[in-house]
Structure 1
Amino acid sequence: MTKIERRTWLQDLRENAEMMWLLMLTISASQSEIRQILSSHFYVLCCTPSKEGRQLFFKVVQDLELVKVFKDFCDRRNMEYETVRFLYDGAHINGRQTPKMLNMENGAEIFAARQQLGGGVATLLYSHVFNRSF
């Protein structure tokens, strides 16, 4: 790859946020060019499962829809994406939102919790009628 081809490729890479998600360090660009791209466009996010306490760190582009991060997180944890809710600053995150939309800073922490249906009023009524506690 010539210098002109490499420079054009890097410009395309900067413009296309989706490709930056798949960026590999095996490209023939110099290390300083790679660091410049990574430092100017990436946020570091970590997802924490509520019970396990282990963290996974992801590097993503500011304009990348978080659904890709969430699905990757679920794949790595052997969880179904539809059964997990993701929270940032105590609020539910829609998968179509981006770090830029949420004003996330570098090192932002996203909590992952299994979605739970039920409980609430129905459980209280059941326990009151049948004199059972949970």
Structure 2
Amino acid sequence: MIVVVAAVYFVVAAGAAVVSGRNLDRHLQGPRLRAAWAEGLTAEARCISLRTEEVQSPEGGPVEYTHPTLEFRTDDGHTVSFEERQSRLTPARGDFVTVYYSAANPKDATTRAPSFGMRHAKALITGVGSFFALVTAVVIALVP
């Protein structure tokens, strides 16, 4: 009977790990970032404006975020402007920064450099969660 409980626990916990990995990946905009990095296309973008947004922190205090609007030219000569919302980068107006983009959707460009963590966030969260689910299920099954 206890083995059945451990098996059910493992299935539920591993499923939760998969869902958590998928949700975190979406929240961090993993699919958009991986698409921007996939082709290896980069360009120098100029900051053409800055927009400041004030929001309330979880503690109730004000937090200010600055979002630069960047403009760059693609390899095929098109000029693209986009507002960067996922980077802590705050260039001054007129500054140049490197952007990563895909030819299919250059408006989804990003200033975030490719990283192992962002490329594999979903697999890492799912794997770690599933490992802990397995260890816990084994402990449940072996404890008298």
Fold conserved between structures, TM > 0.5:
no
TM-score class normalised by the smaller sequence: under 0.3
With CA pairs under 8 Å and 6+ residues apart, which has the higher RCO, 1 or 2? 2
Could you say which structure has the higher helix fraction? 2
Select the structure that is richer in strand.
2
